[in-house]
Structure 1
């Protein structure tokens, strides 16, 4: 703190950019309790690929961690966790649907532990093409996510290591992608929702654009002194949308009210 150094984790898509938008919805709400903050995010191939309708957009370890760990939520004003790969819902998205959404870990960043005083319900779900989540849920239920090793024949092996190796070698990658973000706030009889659609441009994938450009923009805001919060703070704690989001418009990353 004395050195004025900032450390900003969670500078990705979610946690990251999507949470900045969600924080703005909380900050801009009328006085009184907020019924619900909902976050839906997906990084998908533009067309379903293979049995999972998916391509490997980042490490298989990161993917399985999201699918294996408890998911932080706020329910009825209390912090809690729910199982991953549950709470399925159908999602309509013009031009990209139908989709499904389900609970995954990590996407709420620090929000679930910080906003129980005002937000009654807060939840993050990942968007995928239909069928994806239940296939991975079946793997979870039969133990393929387990990290403890056991003897198979004469070999000691962890089921998760076998699964990660299989995913790394069989899932497609490098196809045109799309990133979808939808965040909304329910308060009383009103709903305010924002969404964003981004596709690859100028040789950069949509996922690369929506992770690298916001992080770079935040770094620039820090360098210019617009964001000045020494110490450790996640992206959604360090910067507000009013400062960050206009910086992304020139590169074509723009949210619209829906």
Structure 2
């Protein structure tokens, strides 16, 4: 049986298409992705709630994947500290083949079903933690092996895939299956499948961080002030919250290092 992600594109002779037709075809396929994600919201809800509960008790969140899926996990993990002010080791993305595989494919890295657990041991993963396997196909040995060993050791397991069922789902306590259908370019899962995984990751990590109290109202009150744009954004937030002028708000922000702490100090 051919997996959905490997089925032939419904577009033929794309090498003979005009540029505009290629772009319209890709865009038409992309439009279907949010609807596929919407169908998976009940599964995403269960996974997000479970991960949040683990993290409230001191657990961490790990992503593992290969290729595009692995890169997406690394991106989501790396964006959590600057966006939500969490420690860099609280959300961790691991890609098959190591960090070098972020920029250059590492041959056969995804076919080793023992390596993910070895990679996770570097972080002393334990039963408080959660592990999410990212695999468009739902069959990647690196991800399957990591999830199986994690589950054996009491780690909460989940996955984000773009096929129905398979070994990754079987190894997951909370599977998320986003069925986006055949790709515009046959088998190129960096396209719709990758987009779907990115959307789900956005939903998952943002929801978890909100549940952990890292957002107030609709503001990123714990964001890291790493550039002038973010300092200005934070200053505006402090201004609005305390009803003070820009200079006073900026002084408070610089002194206390975060919007949350600046507001708390300003209300004493």
Same fold, TM-score > 0.5, yes or no: no
**TM-score, scaled relative to structure 1:** 0.26
Larger Rg: 2
User: Which is helix-richer, 1 or 2?
Assistant: 2
Q: Relative contact order: is structure 1 or structure 2 higher (C-alpha 8 Å, sep ≥ 6)?
A: 1
